[in-house]
């Protein structure tokens, strides 16, 4: 069993080989740490957003409502982040970043040693290229390839931030190159985010659609002038309400006519049963029919004068009162005198009164009939207008739909043209869906080598290598030096050990 005591005794017993190998390994690590040139790392952070500044001038997002929100949020997918990573670390952008910048050679001893080792390791590849006539890589391309090996990009977990890092042996060049690369990345992103021909295309299409919209609006305007339809729904509702009102007035006049005729028939039955004359003296009296009709005629004339102040002469109310006046005048014309000679013994006043009531009922029935006939004409005319309005609406709807479709298409292309113009302006101002969250940092301390860590690792490697060498030497020595070796060789337990000094 190999325990701590075994390894300790082994290191003491084989101290020479142990110390030689351990010192050699530790010296190699220390020398490598001291000779290796410092490696500096500069980092920057790029924020990838779901969109850039909203086009507030666009008609499509003037109002912020649930159906058309002004700000549309689309989550960034992993594919979007990976696309940006590949773009910012592409060899094309690296060449753009080092364009016009001469490579500064590093003539330090460590750099020359590394170049020598790298050149020796690349000899097989050079031989293969010569054998197969592979075109030689230019110095600029070779520099870009070497830079790409030290350039890295990673996505920070649970975020839309990409961390870009670059390492080199030159502290200042590390930051300068990363800044140049980010500037080239932003400029290239602005270039590929906008097509300069799109704005021209949308403007041309908008002009064509504007002419089409004007033509369809002219057709709609001409049809409205010819048909008199300005507000189809409003006009239809108003006309239907008017016809309903006329129907109600006609029904009222019909009911009044029937009531007046029924009253006249009832009074005629009573008149037949009432004696026309009674036995009294003869005297001159005023005609009762005339005395009752004249005040009514005067009252109706006064009402007509008042109505003329509010209605047209051809309105339904004026025609109605004119018909009543005509009926009453007709009854007055049938009476040949204002006064009649009657013998109180011959004419019954009750009979006269009933006859007057009959005349009034008949006059009212005639007036109601005339008003109902006038209303029938107005209702018929209103229905004709409603039919014309409905038929005109059937022809109006396709014209209105054509105007709406042309307007929507025109506005859509106008919005696209405005968005293309705004996109061009934002690209010019470097307003993109990607932004620099952290500029390239100037490294203040080398990332590698870390002296204390290298020394600790070198010490552990030296200890392990020394123990391995000591174990290998003891394994190849035929002598037995430890209890463990005796037990392994003989299977016996060691009682005592006599050292050479004894």
pLDDT level of residue 151 (50, 70, 90 thresholds): very high
Residues 340-361: what's their mean pLDDT? 72
CA separation for the pair 207, 174 (Å, rounded)? 53
Quote the tokens at residue 206. 């908008």
Mean pLDDT score of the chain: 79
- Euclidean distance between CA atoms 232 and 238, whole angstroms: 10
Residue listed under structure tokens 């008949």: 362
Contact predicate 427/194, CB 8 Å: yes
Average of per-residue pLDDT across 107-123 = 68
Please tell me the predicted confidence (pLDDT) of residue 452.
85
For the cut 90, the answer to whether the pLDDT of residue 154 exceeds it is yes
Q: What is the pLDDT of residues 212-246, one digit of tens each?
A: 999 998 998 888 888 888 887 888 888 899 889 98
- Report residue 67: phi and psi, to 5°: -75, -35
| Predicted confidence (pLDDT) at residue 192 exceeds the cutoff of 70 | yes
- Give this prediction's pTM: 0.50
For 40-76, the pLDDT digits (tens) are 999 999 998 876 544 444 444 444 455 554 444 557 7
Contact between residue 55 and residue 424 where contact means Cβ atoms under 8 Å apart: no
Helix-strand-coil split of the chain, %, nearest 5: 65, 10, 25
Domains of the chain and CATH, by start: 38-193+432-448 (3.30.1890), 232-415 (no CATH)
Beta strands in 289-371, from DSSP E residues, in sequence order: 339-343
Query: In three state form, how does the secondary structure of 321-333 look?
Result: HHHHHHHHHHHHH
pLDDT-derived band at 382, boundaries 50, 70, 90: confident
Confidence bin at 483 (pLDDT 50/70/90): low
pLDDT of 485 strictly over 80: no
Write the pLDDT tens digit of every residue in 390-399.
888 888 888 8
For residue 178, pLDDT beyond 50: yes
Length reported for the chain: 502
**For the segment 248-294, what is each residue's pLDDT rounded down to a tens digit?**
988 888 888 888 888 888 888 887 887 777 665 555 555 665 666 67
Beta pairing, strands 339-343 & 282-286: antiparallel
* Sign of the CA dihedral running 18, 22, 24, 27: negative
Give the residue among 106, 147, 41 at the shortest CA–CA distance from 444. 41
pLDDT tens per residue across span 454-464: 889 989 998 88
Q: Can you tell me the distance from the alpha carbon of 303 to that of 317, in angstroms, rounded to the nearest whole number?
A: 10
């Amino acid at each position: 069993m190999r325990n701590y005591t075994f390894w300790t005794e082994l290191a003491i017993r084989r101290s020479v080989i142990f110390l030689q190998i351990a010192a050699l390994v530790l010296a190699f690590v220390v020398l490598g740490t001291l000779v290796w040139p410092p490696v500096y790392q500069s980092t920057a952070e790029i924020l990838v957003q779901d969109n850039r500044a909203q086009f507030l001038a666009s008609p499509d997002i003037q109002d912020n409502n649930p159906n058309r929100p002004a700000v549309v949020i689309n989550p960034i997918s992993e594919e979007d982040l990976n696309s940006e990573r590949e773009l910012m670390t592409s060899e094309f952008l690296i060449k753009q970043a080092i364009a016009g910048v001469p490579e500064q050679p590093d003539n330090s001893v460590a750099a020359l040693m590394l170049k020598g080792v790298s050149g020796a390791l690349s000899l097989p590849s050079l031989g293969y290229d010569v054998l197969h006539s592979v075109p030689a890589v230019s110095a600029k391309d070779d520099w870009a390839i070497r830079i790409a090996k030290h350039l890295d990009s990673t996505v920070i977990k649970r975020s839309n931030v990409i961390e870009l890092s670059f390492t080199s042996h030159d502290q200042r060049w590390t930051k300068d190159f990363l800044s140049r690369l980010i500037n080239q990345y932003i400029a290239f992103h602005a270039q590929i985010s906008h097509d300069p021909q799109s704005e021209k295309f949308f403007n041309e299409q908008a002009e064509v659609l504007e002419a089409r919209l004007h033509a369809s609006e002219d057709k709609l305007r001409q049809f409205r002038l010819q048909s008199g339809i300005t507000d189809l729904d409003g006009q239809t509702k108003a006309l239907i309400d008017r016809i309903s009102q006329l129907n109600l007035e006609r029904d009222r006049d019909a009911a009044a006519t029937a009531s007046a005729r029924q009253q006249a028939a009832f009074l005629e039955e009573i008149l037949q049963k009432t004696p026309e004359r009674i036995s009294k003296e003869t005297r001159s009296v005023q005609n009762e029919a005339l005395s009752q009709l004249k005040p009514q005629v005067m009252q109706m004339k006064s009402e007509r004068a008042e109505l003329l102040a509010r209605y047209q002469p051809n309105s339904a109310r004026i025609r109605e009162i004119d018909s009543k006046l005509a009926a009453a005048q007709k009854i007055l014309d049938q009476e040949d005198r204002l006064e009649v000679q009657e013998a109180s013994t011959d004419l019954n006043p009750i009979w006269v009164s009933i006859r007057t009531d009959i005349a009034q009922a008949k006059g009212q029935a005639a007036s109601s009939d005339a008003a109902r006939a006038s209303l029938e004409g107005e209702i018929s005319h209103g229905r004709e207008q409603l039919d014309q309005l409905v038929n005109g609406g059937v022809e109006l709807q396709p014209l209105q739909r054509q105007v709406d479709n042309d307007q929507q298409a025109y506005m859509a292309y106008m919005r696209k043209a405005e968005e293309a113009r705004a996109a061009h302006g934002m690209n010019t101002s470097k307003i993109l869906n990607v932004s620099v969250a952290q500029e390239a940092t100037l490294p203040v301390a080398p990332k590698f080598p870390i002296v204390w860590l290298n020394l600790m690792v070198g010490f552990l490697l030296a200890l392990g290598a020394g123990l391995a060498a000591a174990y290998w030497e003891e394994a190849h020595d035929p002598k037995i030096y430890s209890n463990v070796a005796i037990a392994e060789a003989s299977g016996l337990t060691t009682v005592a050990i006599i050292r050479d000094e004894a």
